[in-house]
Amino acid sequence: MSKKHIPEIMAPAGDKNAFLAAVAAGADAVYVGLKHFSARMQAQNFSISELAQLASLGRDRGTKTYVAMNTLVKPQDVESAGRLIDRLQRNVKPFALIVQDLAMLTLAKQAGYTGELHLSTLANVSHPAGLDVAKKLGANRVVLPRELNLDEVKLMADACPKDLDLEIFVHGALCHCVSGRCYWSSYLGGKSGLRGRCVQPCRRLYTRGKEQPERLFSCSDLSLDVLTKPLLSMDRVAAWKIEGRKKGPHYVFYTVKAYQMLRDNPQDAQAKKTAMELLDQALGRPSSHSVFLPQRPFQPVQPKEETSSGRLIGEIRRDQKKLFFEPREQLETGDLVRVGYEDQPGHRTIPIRRRVPKRGRMDIPFSRKHVGPPLPTGTKVFLVDRREPQLVKRIRELEKELDFFPAPEMKESTFTPTWPKAAPRVRGKGKGKSSPRTESVSLFRLPPKGKTWDRPAFWLERSILGKVAGKDTARAQWWLPPVVWPDEDKKYRSLIKEAVRKGAREFVLNAPWQAAYFEDRKNVTLTAGPFCNTANRLALDVLRQLGFSSAIINPELPLEDLQGLAQNPPLPLGFVIKGMWPFGISRFLADAVPFDEAIKSPMNEVAFVRKYGQNNWIFPGWEVDLTKEARTLERLGFKTFVTMLEPWPRNVPRPTRTSEFNWRLKLL
């Protein structure tokens, strides 16, 4: 009789109390971030010494510790990232590292790390063929995108090679854009989601036409709850992940307990009911099953509904000069309430100093920190964390046990990375002369009318492939999309074969995992596209090992990072220098959002949405333009300059400005 498949319940922890709450709940694993290289930099996160004690306590209680180092690694960060892995290995011994950047796979090996390596959802391993590439690079687990439905998860599980596991999000916040394919926060101000600094512009109010402002891109939370039952039959799905490293211990404890019940008692109706009650107490946003049920998908963006974190418990009223609210449920000492939405001027989080009965009065204390107009009456109040006496007691008891696990003596790491060899320089005519040999590439959505002076490039779609003349097929670059979904594997294998038969020779892949489509690379050249998010020399070297012969860097990186990247790179470099770089790519879109129409943010920033295949591309209403910096890039050694062309929507006003993206900023 086969052993029953029991997926682990993974709890989030952004601070010590949340970690201890996960242990108290009996979580199988806790995933955490450090002060650096974490994709949730807004969380409190952990020091090495603090985490060493907590991880030891966790091991004693049967709870594994996973450390998320899942940010993009900039050129000047490589050595410090390696030293951090070295210190983790010696002092914390985490069961696994969760990584996005390909460089982390190399650094972990060089630093002698002995635990597992998990590819974050930010790495965007989104199609079955890519799983073999992930395993080849040394990954033990792949975290699946949150946009997959049940049938697609099964496709991934069926294709998953031996000794590679899958992890799926079962609960928590949903991003509007696909993880690893969102540049919204970065484009609007240098705070990169790929670096854990997202300011969540998708949660803002947006206006279409003359309509009232709505939260057109703000998703409800994901909660698979009772729909997790089919996952129990998929042996390769080894972990159920709860999102929420910025959440408090109350949320962590109740969600872990709920999913334990759903996992361990799939046939018990009463257990399901109890689990749903626990999830209702967890204080997340309003939730849905999203698109998980393919026959009954739910649109996770409902602009007219509440999507703020926490549970709505009241609205501000005014009595003479005082602001107050009357809570819909009893508040305990230590509870936290947030007055206003996260993006609302003047919003604040207030600790409850004394018990407030249901329908009692809670005055909003005056604060000198919050200048500007007072919050208006009707402002909503949300309960965002609880401090129940029993849970607090259990956490304090576990905290005392930490004394039995003293922090190890901290020693500085002396780790130094082994750098890859630089790509050989191209020689021009004449002894000892280097040839600049730069080329300009124009990426089209449709074949252009008339002659083009730049080298043409096209998105690889059958409708385009059939319209390009034979000689142009061979001359052009053929770009794969930034996201390939599970049911599109066969489509792109077929398209690639057809393109090669017609003479195509260079393909630009926009995820490293798309290299799986090119087992036979005879007469074919592979270029890593800008959506591979390549940012350092070690990542470039991993791409080289996968068979790539060059890499195009996306325009998110500022000049100082491009300078570091161009120092002895193992591959020739290109750069997206002009055109319509997207805010992000999404599989979700509210019914209220029209295509090719202007949508405005509170700051009058214009955007529009266009659908290509299964993906919605959200474009800013102005293009990136770094053409005047071409000479600087040439001097650094960049060889290829790409312009991304997009037909301009008739109903969107032509811009009067362009963007330098982060060229003059220090990317956070």
Query: Domain map of the chain by residue range?
Result: 8-174+220-282, 311-385, 439-581+623-644
Residues 555, 625: Cα–Cα separation, whole Å: 9
Instruction: For the beta carbon of residue 126, count every other beta carbon within 10 angstroms.
Output: 28
Question: At 575, which amino acid appears?
Answer: F
- How big is the chain by its Cα radius of gyration, in Å? 26
Contacts of 176 (CB under 8 A, 6+ apart): 182, 202, 217, 218, 219, 301, 584, 586, 588
Nearest to 404 by CA among 60, 665, 147: 60
Nearest to 458 by CA among 506, 407, 409: 506
Q: What is the pLDDT of residue 426?
A: 62
Domain 311-385 class, CATH top level: mainly beta
509-535 burial, b if ≥16 CB within 10 A, otherwise e? bbbbbbbbbbeeeeebebbbbbbbbbb
CATH of range 439-581+623-644; options 3.20.20.70, 3.40.50.300, 3.40.50.1390, 3.40.50.720: 3.20.20.70
Q: What is the pLDDT of residue 434?
A: 47
Question: At 607, which amino acid appears?
Answer: A
Contacts of 279 (CB under 8 A, 6+ apart): 171, 223, 225, 254, 255, 258, 287
Q: Return the SS3 of 492.
A: helix
Nearest to 153 by CA among 232, 208, 67: 232
Domains 8-174+220-282 and 439-581+623-644 share a fold: yes
Q: What is the pLDDT of residue 371?
A: 55
Residues 559, 170: Cα–Cα separation, whole Å: 39
Give the helix ranges, DSSP H, for 34-96: 48-60, 78-91
Domain 8-174+220-282 class, CATH top level: alpha beta
Nearest to 237 by CA among 131, 105, 101: 131
**Contact, 63 vs 46, CB < 8 A?**
no
Nearest to 582 by CA among 661, 639, 508: 661
Q: Return the SS3 of 293.
A: coil
Which positions of the chain have pLDDT values less than 70? 1-4, 38-44, 367-373, 426-436
Contacts of 604 (CB under 8 A, 6+ apart): none
Q: What is the pLDDT of residue 470?
A: 81
Q: What is the pLDDT of residue 364?
A: 87
> What long-range pairs does 645-649 form, CB within 8 A, spacing at least 24?
645/442, 645/443, 645/444, 645/445, 645/579, 645/580, 646/445, 646/579, 646/580, 646/610, 646/619, 647/445, 647/446, 649/596, 649/597, 649/608, 649/610
